[in-house]
């Protein structure tokens, strides 16, 4: 009897030890869980918890319930949260080089984007090294698609249509592009853009078409202009100290899960965008494609954006710009 009791006690102790050993991985996301980035995080959660046998408990806080997009880099870097999803351009203050993805019309097709974000590419390695200096490191990249413009009452077809208009942007370089095109940029987080359009805070919006669907932006805007003037990338970033405190075995399992999630979202991006365009059209939005002449007019005003990028990012910026342009 005594041995049985001891065995039971030992079992309780082991159970308690297992509970204590479980490590929480909280992830902040500005988008709704139903968005494709939210669904991708659910895949990541499933993969992590299966591969680690539950040793890592992933908790996703969507719709900016913990932190807005612009707050994620500091929250992760300081260790206030273990991980977060942020638009790549949110790191531009500490790492100006990241905005190579927002150079007007540079990475404007899937082949160029895939080459730039590939593991081991000069573009990706340079950017990740700069981000790591902020206290957080990139676990994996989440594709979000090409940038579009939103408007009411007519399309934004040329820079002349942008003249004097207030434009929602989500990064400095996009703001520089708006300024070069004659508009007035206003930095607004993704979670706040619906209200900004509804209240008329801005006249024009920039986002990815998948965001139009997940946020039902057709309720507040009626026209999409397909400019594809930038490639929107999000990154899942983990706190350096938290990450380095995990065992090699656990880090390996999480890295494997990240690779699965990263490939999944990248491979689905074309169909995600196609479904979003279809949903926007079904909900009454006008989808406007630009002519070659109209695209040429946008490209003609973009040179100051490249000049400003190189001035801010220096040698690293020139390196990734050359690498991206050679793809």
Query: Which tens digits make up the pLDDT trace of 267-280?
Result: 999 999 999 999 99
Element (H, E) at 168: strand 166-169
Task: Please tell me the predicted confidence (pLDDT) of residue 22.
Answer: 87
Which pLDDT does position 141 carry in this prediction? 98
What is the Cα–Cα distance from 254 to 241, expressed in whole angstroms?
A: 15
Average pLDDT, rounded, for the chain: 92
Query: Which structure tokens are listed for 252?
Result: 């390996």
Residues with Cβ < 8 Å from 162, sequence gap 6 or more? 156, 178, 181, 182, 183, 204
- What pLDDT is attached to residue 326? 74
List, for the chain, all residue ranges whose pLDDT scores fall below the cut of 70.
Answer: 1-21, 327
What pLDDT score does 325 carry? Answer: 85
Q: What is the pTM of this model?
A: 0.86
Q: How far is CA 232 from CA 61, 235, 263, in A?
A: 21, 10, 16
Neighbours of 229 (CB within 10 A): 25
Q: How far is CA 30 from the centre of its chain?
A: 10
Domains of the chain: 2-325 (3.40.190.170)
What span, in angstroms and rounded, lies between the C-alpha atoms of 8 and 14?
A: 10
């Amino acid at each position: 009897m005594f041995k049985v009791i001891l065995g039971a006690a030992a079992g309780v102790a082991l159970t308690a030890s297992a509970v204590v050993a479980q490590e929480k991985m909280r992830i902040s996301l500005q988008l709704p869980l139903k968005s494709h980035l939210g669904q991708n995080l659910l895949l990541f959660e499933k993969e992590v918890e299966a591969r680690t046998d539950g040793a890592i408990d992933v908790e996703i806080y969507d719709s900016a319930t913990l932190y807005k997009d612009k707050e994620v880099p500091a929250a992760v870097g300081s260790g206030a949260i273990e991980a977060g999803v942020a638009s790549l351009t949110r790191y531009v203050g500490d790492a100006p080089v990241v905005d190579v993805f927002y150079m007007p019309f540079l990475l404007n097709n899937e082949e160029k984007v895939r080459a730039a974000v590939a593991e081991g590419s000069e573009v990706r390695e340079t950017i990740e090294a700069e981000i790591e200096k902020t206290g957080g490191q990139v676990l994996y990249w989440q594709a979000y698609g090409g940038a579009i413009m939103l408007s009411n009452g007519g399309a934004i077809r040329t820079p002349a249509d942008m003249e004097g208009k207030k434009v929602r942007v989500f990064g400095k370089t996009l703001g520089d592009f708006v300024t070069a095109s004659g508009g007035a940029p206003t930095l607004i987080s993704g979670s706040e853009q619906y209200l900004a359009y509804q209240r008329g805070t801005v006249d024009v919006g920039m986002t990815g078409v998948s965001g139009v669907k997940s946020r039902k932006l057709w309720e507040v805007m009626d026209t999409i202009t397909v400019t594809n003037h930038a490639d929107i990338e999000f990154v899942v970033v983990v706190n350096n100290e938290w990450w380095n405190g995990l065992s090699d075995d656990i880090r390996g399992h999480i890295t494997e899960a990240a690779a699965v999630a990263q490939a999944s979202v990248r491979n689905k991006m074309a169909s995600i965008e196609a479904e979003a365009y279809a949903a926007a059209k079904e909900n009454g939005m006008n989808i406007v494609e630009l002519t070659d002449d109209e695209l040429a007019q946008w490209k003609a005003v973009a040179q100051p954006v490249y000049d400003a990028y190189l001035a801010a990012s220096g040698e690293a910026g020139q390196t990734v710009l050359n690498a991206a342009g050679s793809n």
